[in-house]
Structure 1
Amino acid sequence: MHTAVVIGTGLIGTSVALALSARDVEVYLRDSDPAAVRTAAALGAGTMAQPAGTVDLAIVAVPPGLVGPVLADAQKEGTARHYTDVASVKGGPLHDIIALDCDTRRYIGGHPMAGAERAGPLAARADLFEGRVWALTPTADTDTDTLNMALELVALCNAVPTVIEAGVHDRAVGLVSHMPHLVASLVAMRLEHADERAVRLAGPGIRDVTRIAAAETQLWVDILSANAAVVADLLDELAADLDHAVAGLRAMAATDEHKRSGGARTVESLLRRGRTGRARIPGKHGSRPTRYEEVGVLIGDQPGELAKLFMDASRAGVNIEDVHLEHSTGQPTGVVRVSVSQGGSAALGETLRGRGWRLQ
């Protein structure tokens, strides 16, 4: 790949353009919003100039409902030899593409599993896709050269390709992305009119659950509308589980001992199944999940404290697998939770205590 056109300079499109430009691909930028394309160009994502001829690959980075029309126009212009998109839903766009009589031999659907709470080109990063899964959904007649060009795109962005059928993809992202986002929003919505004293008690649990609810609203309306039936089915299943949980909790609150014990068993079963499901999420480098040990370290809110902690932790000779920072409400302190491999917490704790850190 020597040349590419990125159509749509939002978060994902600009991030793709930045990644390709960093690998010496000549990138041409297009967007219906002049301010967005100017911003992307100013960030070094590419040029606003028109290509002199046909480019190697066109990346359509627009909302799912616009993929079909934008692809049809680009193919009519002869923009590129090969085409892909980065929309988060594949079934609807593919239906539109076929209805618009696009050339599906030179098209392959794509979806990088990466993003951020902020939208727009200013939130873009060249390393946004590093180590992330990038789904590719070829049509029944996608040409091998088009598939190879898409694989090269994924490699240039340092992502990990996986080939999947469009309908299977939509069910999967509904389960692991779209439904969780809506559920996070529903949980966060309970805080909208909550007593201020209750909100001030918010800790890392509610922060983790609601983090993705801070994402840009209109973007998620577009995503959910393109996969609405799948998400609705999944929410129906979740609603049945919620009814089961409510029944169990009501029984636990009853005066009858038999009902209380039955309710406790119901809730315990739900919690156990939750742990089992959580354990299936892939771990480091997509491998089987690994259990880590955790060390909690009290840390002040001064510049350089985190860097000093990491430097002192390195003296223990233990690899840090994950880090989570919890801020104390109204206090200039927090807790850094450091995850290490099994058997490493003792050595790390001893080293940090010796360097004057207070452990929790």
Structure 2
Amino acid sequence: MAVSELRTVAVVGTGLIGTSVALALAEQGVTTHLIDRDRSAARAAAARGAGTTETPRAPVDLAVLAVPPGSVAAVLEEQQKAGLARAYTDVASVKRPPQADMEARGCDLASFVGGHPMAGRERSGPLAGRADLFGGRPWVLTPGPATEQLALGRVLELVRRCGGVPVVLSPEEHDRAVALVSHLPHLLASLMAARLRDDEALAVRLAGQGLRDVTRIAAGDAALWTDILATNAPAVAELLADLAGDLEAVLRALRAMASTDPVTARSHPAAAELSALLARGNEGHARIPGKHGGTSVTYSSVRVLLRDRAGELARVLADASGTGANIEDIRLDHATDGNTGFVELLVTGESADALTAGLRRHGWPVHA
């Protein structure tokens, strides 16, 4: 058998990521075995076509450990002793602490390659899995000095079959990076969403797309995220301390401006400090890669008022396609009256005018 060939895979853990991996492999004819202590989760994944819940009769080519970071080492030890696979990888979002635990347990690290696909959803569980979840997304691999070529080759083949883009990092580099781009954002989204829990219902009813964007990922599994944050606590704490310094600066600036009347507040020295902090945010946002990892592109928004009736969204999209505009993203914003809402179409700047004019010709109420 070729080093990178995958005919049989076992996925241990059938949550969002595990089920998505299994769906991607099963679509390509890979025999995929689903293993989960929660048998109902494994059966739900199997019912979606992600694989079989039958126990493999011989070691599989590769086992994917789709369990929380704090459980990776124990599950690896367990499955290696059971002879589940010839090679192993994981998909946990923290790398160094689990690896240290593997070393302490005496796990076979020659057959193991740490992995982390940088993809996810705000939903969890097997019903949220998607075969295309990893398409074009970075998939970090953290092979160690002891890693054998056979194991690395099979994990690279896994990434290829799932549509991911392999990125090799050390465990330490990975943990620092994901603390910034994943763990801290989730924590902040949750803290912001928590402000809504006990606030007046009127304020929540006024929520628009901005609040939805900021808090979307706060819907993630709280127990899983507690495990992630606890496992990567040093890196997240360091970043949070830096952020706390910026929040203190904002607070001082706002309190200084609040002590003056609204007219003079705009020319207060504290306003310049606040503006500088916001400008830093503009600069940071501009560094986020755009579509397929390319340069970030600024899109124009065309908002269309929709009535609450069947087929309304399909009709506006059909009319939009006739304008020749390249729609990059679609967002839905429900109105508080329950009878109307907005669909926001994001397009490149040169397409916005044509899209707006074309939709208005079809009688759509457009807010460009």
Give the structure-2-normalised TM-score.
0.94
2:268 maps to amino acid: S
Tell me whether 36-45 or 321-330 shows the greater mean CA deviation: 36-45
Matches of 1:292 and 1:121, distance apart in 2: 34
Secondary structure at 2:86 match in 1: strand
| TM-score, with length taken from structure 1 | 0.96
* Structure 2 residue runs without a partner (length 5+): 1-5
**Where in structure 2 are the equivalents of 1:175-186 lying within 5 Å?**
175-186=180-191
User: In structure 2, which of residues 327, 336, 343 is the aligned counterpart of residue 336 of structure 1?
Assistant: 343
Q: For residues 198-220 of structure 1, what are the alpha-carbon distances to aligned partners after superposition, in whole Å with 9 as ceiling and x for unaligned? A: 22222211121111111121111
Residue equivalent to 1:145: 150
Q: d(CA) in 2 for partners of 1:359 and 1:164?
A: 47
| Cα distance per residue 1:73-127 (max 9 Å; x no partner) | 2222222121100111111111111111222121111111222222221222222
Per the TM alignment, residue 134 of structure 1 is displaced from its structure 2 partner at its CA by: 1.4
Q: Does 1:357 align with 2:364?
A: yes
Identify the residue that residue 297 of structure 1 maps to in structure 2.
304
- In structure 2, what residue type is equivalent to 1:350? A
- Give 1:113-128 correspondences, 5 Å limit: 113-128=118-133
Query: Partner of 2:25: helix, strand, or coil?
Result: helix
CA contact under 8 A between 2:11 and 2:33: conserved in structure 1?
yes
How far apart in 2 are the matches of 1:243 and 1:295? 37
Q: Does the CA-based 8 Å contact 2:258-2:265 persist in structure 1? A: no
CA distances 1:8-47 after superposition (whole Å, capped 9, x unpaired):
1122111111111111000112111222222222222111
1:228 matches 2:210: no
Matches within 5 A, 1:248-259: 248-255=253-260
Among candidates 58, 61, 64, match of residue 56 of structure 1: 61
- Per the alignment, residue 134 of structure 2 pairs with 129
The answer on 1:86 being equivalent to 2:83 is no
Structure 1 distance, partners of 2:317, 2:349, is: 19
Matches within 5 A, 1:312-351: 312-351=319-358
Distance 1:143 1:306 in 2: 52
- Tell me which residue corresponds to 2:285: 278
Q: Aligned to 2:294, which of 287, 290, 297?
A: 287
1:84–1:107 CA contact under 8 A, matched in 2? yes
Tell me if the contact between 1:254 and 1:260 (Cα under 8 Å) persists in the aligned partners: no
The one-letter code of the counterpart of 2:110 is: R
Which of 40, 43, 50 is the equivalent residue of 2:45? 40
SS at match of 2:343: strand
| RMSD between superposed Cα atoms in Å | 1.6
In 1, Cα distance between the equivalents of 2:346 and 2:129?
A: 28
Equivalent residue runs for 1:128-207 within 5 Å? 128-207=133-212
Q: Deviations over 1:303-340 (max 9, x none)?
A: 21221112111111121111222111123211222111
| Secondary structure of the structure 2 residue equivalent to 1:80 | coil
CA distance in 2, matches of 1:188, 1:258: 29
Find the residue that maps to 1:139 and give its secondary structure.
coil
Equivalent residue letter for 1:265: A
What amino acid sits opposite 1:263 in the alignment?
Answer: A
Separation of aligned partners in 2, 1:304 and 1:62: 40
SS in 1 for 2:61: strand
Alignment-derived partner of residue 241 in structure 1: 246
Moved segments of 4+, more than 4 Å: 256-260
Unaligned regions of 5+ residues in structure 1, if any? none
TM-aligned CA deviation for residue 2 of structure 1: 0.3
Residue matched to 1:266: 273
Percent identity, please: 53
Q: Residue 75 in 1 paired to residue 80 in 2?
A: yes
Shift of 1:259: 9.6
For these two proteins, the number of residue pairs brought into alignment is 360
Match of 1:133, as an amino acid?
P
Alpha carbons 1:60, 1:83 under 8 Å: kept: yes
Question: In the TM superposition, what is the alpha-carbon distance from 1:240 to its structure 2 partner?
Answer: 0.3
| CA distance in structure 1 between the partners assigned to 2:194 and 2:325 by the alignment | 41
